[in-house]
């Protein structure tokens, strides 16, 4: 009997009967959206859990990115990474901002601070780094550069839910941090997102912008959009929070099992664990190195044929996509590290429901594909 396919991720779903009381309350309240009681409860609960003071919920992470740029009035050119999901750069284009791609650090897959200053021009207004795979960026160096040149910093923290450095939330860095609560994320609300704000005034502006710009019943302050999270999504988030610690712990156990099984395996490299950091094990990336018997794609398809559906995450580079590849910063010679990593990476399945026996099956399948 053939084994069931294993995919790179699977959303964590709490018991259905525990969600029913939330739905009943929504029906009784007759409030489905527009900052209802569950929406407001989830904002506060997430602030408490994440260790931040102000947070604005959104219907998804992409609209949160678009709004974050609007809220800080970012324009002209923004430095960012080519090694990310397309929403990072797309949010810039939606704001008529020119992305300027900078290469990544091979040890972290994050924006390389040593290359940022060379990309700054008189038109540069901000930096948008990504905490790739939940591993924190070099936030201190990035902030130093931003302070010298008077730039804003907005972190795409889609992967960084619950990540802490030296005991503090990594979401506290920069001018804003943007989270995704998509179904594939460590914490999800089916669809959803949030902006972590430094102060109440900034949150107020963001709340205006996500509700068409309304500040009261008759006053529109800005050309906002509809980015509000529904009560059903917020209720699911509140239920998810009850289980998040267990889910994060199980992810860490799975990552540790992978690292032990893959350590020293020829043709495979693992990203180093960041120091003084409590990560969330949101992804399990491996790099197929030059000394492997086959290239990454051959191994990826061999595993897929065996029912192991990993993901080449991130491939292709954003800078190789038609709407970006004509930019000077997108030239191949400008991004050698990002290009190399994108040709080597496979993210292996990791989610709380993955069993140890399945992890070992994935490792065995990888070993066979490497031969």
pLDDT surpassing 60 at residue 26: yes
In the numeric block, which tokens belong to residue 78? 């923004």
Q: Is the pLDDT of residue 24 over 80?
A: yes
Confidence of residue 2 (pLDDT cuts 50, 70, 90): low
Residue 283 pLDDT level (bands cut at 50, 70, 90): very high
pLDDT of residue 331: 97
What mean pLDDT comes out for the span 97-102? 98
What integer best gives the mean pLDDT of the chain?
97
**Confidence class of residue 89 from pLDDT cuts 50, 70 and 90?**
very high
d(CA 119, CA 124): 9
pLDDT digits (tens, 9 = 90+) for 36-70: 999 999 999 999 999 999 999 999 999 999 999 99
On the CB side of 123, how many CA atoms lie within 13 Å of its CA? 8
Is this model's pTM higher than 0.75 or not?
A: yes
Assess whether pLDDT exceeds 60 at residue 239. Answer: yes
Spell out the long-range contacts of 15-19 with Cβ–Cβ below 8 A and sequence spacing 24 or more. Answer: 18/239, 19/235, 19/236, 19/239
**pLDDT of 336 higher than 80:** yes
C-alpha 266/C-alpha 268 separation (Å) is: 6
Output the CA–CA distances (angstroms, integers) from residue 73 to 151, 198, 254, in the order listed: 12, 16, 42
Mean pLDDT value across residues 326-342: 98
Q: What average pLDDT does this structure show over 274-292?
A: 96
Which domains are delineated in the chain? 16-240 (3.40.640.10), 244-370 (3.90.1150.10)
Separation of alpha carbons 76 and 335, rounded Å: 22
CB 137 within 8 A of CB 131: yes
Determine the pLDDT at residue 84.
98
Give the pLDDT confidence score for residue 90 in this predicted structure.
Answer: 98
Indicate the helix (H) or strand (E) that contains 152: strand 152-156
Q: pLDDT digit string (tens) for 351-360?
A: 999 999 999 9
**Which pLDDT band, with edges at 50, 70 and 90, does 262 fall under?**
very high
The answer to whether the Cα torsion of 356, 288, 89, 201 is positive or negative is positive
> Which pLDDT does position 3 carry in this prediction?
79
The reported pLDDT for the residue numbered 178 is 98
- Among 344, 359, 352, which residue's Cα sits nearest to residue 259? 359
> What's the whole-number mean pLDDT along residues 237-265?
97
Q: What is the pLDDT of residue 1?
A: 44
* Residue 118 neighbours by CB under 8 Å, 6+ apart: none
**pLDDT of 304 over the 70 cut:** yes
pLDDT at 15 over 60: yes
Q: What is the DSSP letter of 41?
A: H
Measured distance CA(213)–CA(206) in Å, rounded: 9
CB 100 within 8 A of CB 329: yes
């Amino acid at each position: 009997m053939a084994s069931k396919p294993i995919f790179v991720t699977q959303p964590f779903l709490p018991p259905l009967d525990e969600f029913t009381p939330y739905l009943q309350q929504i029906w009784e309240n007759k409030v489905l959206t527009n900052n209802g009681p569950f929406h407001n409860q989830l904002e506060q609960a997430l602030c408490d859990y994440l260790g931040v003071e102000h947070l604005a919920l959104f219907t998804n992470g992409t609209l949160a990115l678009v709004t974050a740029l609007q809220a800080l009035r970012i324009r002209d050119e923004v430095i960012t990474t080519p090694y990310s999901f397309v929403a990072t750069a797309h949010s810039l284009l939606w704001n008529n901002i020119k992305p300027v791609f900078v290469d990544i650090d091979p040890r972290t897959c994050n924006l390389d601070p040593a290359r940022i200053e060379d990309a700054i021009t008189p038109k540069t207004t901000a930096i948008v780094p990504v905490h790739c795979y939940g591993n924190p960026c070099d936030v201190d160096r990035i902030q130093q550069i931003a302070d010298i040149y008077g730039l804003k910093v907005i972190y795409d923290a889609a992967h960084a839910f619950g990540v802490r450095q030296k005991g503090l939330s990594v979401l506290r860095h920069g001018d804003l941090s943007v989270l995704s609560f998509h179904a594939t994320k460590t914490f999800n609300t089916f669809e959803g997102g949030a902006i972590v704000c430094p102060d109440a005034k900034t949150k107020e502006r963001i709340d205006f912008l996500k509700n068409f710009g309304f500040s009261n019943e008759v006053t529109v302050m800005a050309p906002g959009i509809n980015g509000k999270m529904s009560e059903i999504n917020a209720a699911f988030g509140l239920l998810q929070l009850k289980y998040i610690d267990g889910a994060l712990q199980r992810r860490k156990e799975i990552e540790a099992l992978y690292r032990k099984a893959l350590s020293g395996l020829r043709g495979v490299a693992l990203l180093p664990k960041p120091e003084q950091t409590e990560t969330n094990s949101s992804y399990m990336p491996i790099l197929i190195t030059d000394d492997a018997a086959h290239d990454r794609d051959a191994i990826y398809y061999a595993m897929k044929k065996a029912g192991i559906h990993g993901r080449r995450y991130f491939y292709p580079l954003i800078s190789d996509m038609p709407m970006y590849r004509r930019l000077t910063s997108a030239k191949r010679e400008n991004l050698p590290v990002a290009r190399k990593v994108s040709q080597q990476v496979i993210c292996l399945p990791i989610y709380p429901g993955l069993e140890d026996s399945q992890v070992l099956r994935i490792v065995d399948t990888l070993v066979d594909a490497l031969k």
